[in-house]
Amino acid sequence: MTQPTLQPEDDVARALDVLAGRRLAVLTGAGLSTDSGIPDYRGPDSPPRTPMTYQQFVGDPAFRRHYWARNHVGWAHVHRTRPNPGHRALAAMEARGVVVGVITQNVDLLHEEAGSRNVIDLHGRYDRVICLSCGTVIPRAELAERLEALNPGFLESVGEVGDVEIAPDADAVIEATSHFVPADCERCGGVLKPEIVYFGENVPRERVERAYAMVDDAGSLLVAGSSLTVMSGLRFVRHAARRGTPVVIVNRGATRGDPLATVKVDAGTSETLTRLASELPTPRLAAPEGGFSA
């Protein structure tokens, strides 16, 4: 199964051959944001971690309190992160018509911040909170102020954010959270939940359909920084492969999509995407056929 003689450099050259002249749909995962300081808990060197499930969150008030205490710390960390060269390379390729759009499994909004315009936040976004009873959506920043008022001194008591473990879902690990007071919906008293898709929860159907449409609109699918562990991302690779659309995967370590990949580049996303952005030509047809009217 190993390919000891094949170097990543050769693979990048093969990826350039496959992608040249095509418009790309891009699927990104946690591996893309590690260079921004957000750890990838599914990466090859990551410790095993049991993700929180939707059922745990809605079913157990103690679990929810613990979650919000950790999120109160982790959120501030994600809020301060900045896009890295991988995000910027994708935004630059979109600006000149190489990239159709980005489907991301990340909730950190770094694509948007880097300047990508056509982004599908498949698993939601960290900066919004939704009431599970009445559906009211509020900014996470607004909730931060309420949590701070309900728990004065909490952030100081857990020390510098840099000292705690930060997870991709704005989840920071803190031991003593039993005294933390979570906030309920101000309108109806219902349970508040980050507008993020958790394990055991489905991605909204409309969002999935838009993502399929983006893949169908492109001439190839580029996967960057995802191990494709969960079906929510893997299904787009299967969809592309079924249609005969070339799939290029850039990821450190094996992915579940490798058997379907036209080319697999086992390398970091920042350097690889930067190189793709500098060497991929602008497709001759910069808009979908029939996309313009006179």
User: Which residues contribute to the annotated binding site for Zn(2+)?
Assistant: 131, 134, 185, 188
Residue from 116, 111, 87, 120 nearest 203 by CA? 120
Contact residues for 260 (Cβ-Cβ < 8 A; gap 6+): 237, 238, 240, 241, 247
Select 135 or 288, whichever has its Cβ closest to Zn ion: 135
Among 78, 129, 185, 221, contact with Zn ion (rule: CB under 5 A): 185
Catalytic residue among 66, 79, 123, 179: 123
Structural tokens at position 84: 């890295």
**Is 123 labeled as catalytic in the residue annotation?**
yes
Q: Does 58 bind Zn ion (CB under 5 A)?
A: no
Looking at beta carbons only, is 91 or 183 nearer to Zn ion? 183
Interface with Zn ion by CB under 5 A: which range of 4-12, 127-135, 266-274, 281-289?
Answer: 127-135
Phi, psi (deg, nearest 5) at residue 69: -60, -45
Q: Per rule CB under 5 A, is residue 134 in the interface with Zn ion?
A: yes
Residue (187 or 243) nearer to Zn ion, CB? 187
Residue written as token pair 């599908």: 120
* Interaction between residue 117 and Zn ion (CB under 5 A): no
Among 51, 190, 219, 253, the residue binding Zn ion under the rule CB under 5 A is: 190
Task: List binding-site positions.
Answer: 29-49, 105-108, 131, 134, 185, 188, 225-227, 251-253, 269
Show the site string, 225-264: x = touches Zn ion by CB under 5 A, - = not: ----------------------------------------
Q: Per CB under 5 A, does 285 bind Zn ion?
A: no
Decide if 218 contacts 23 (C-beta within 8 A).
Answer: yes
Cβ neighbours around 7 below 10 Å, total: 12
In angstroms, the CA 23 to CA 40 distance is: 28
Phi-psi region of 228 (alpha: psi -120 to 50; beta: other; left: phi over 0): left
Binding region for NAD(+):
29-49, 105-108, 225-227, 251-253, 269
The catalytic site residues sit at 123
Which residues of the shown chain bind Zn ion in the complex (CB under 5 A)? 131, 133-134, 136, 185, 187-188, 190
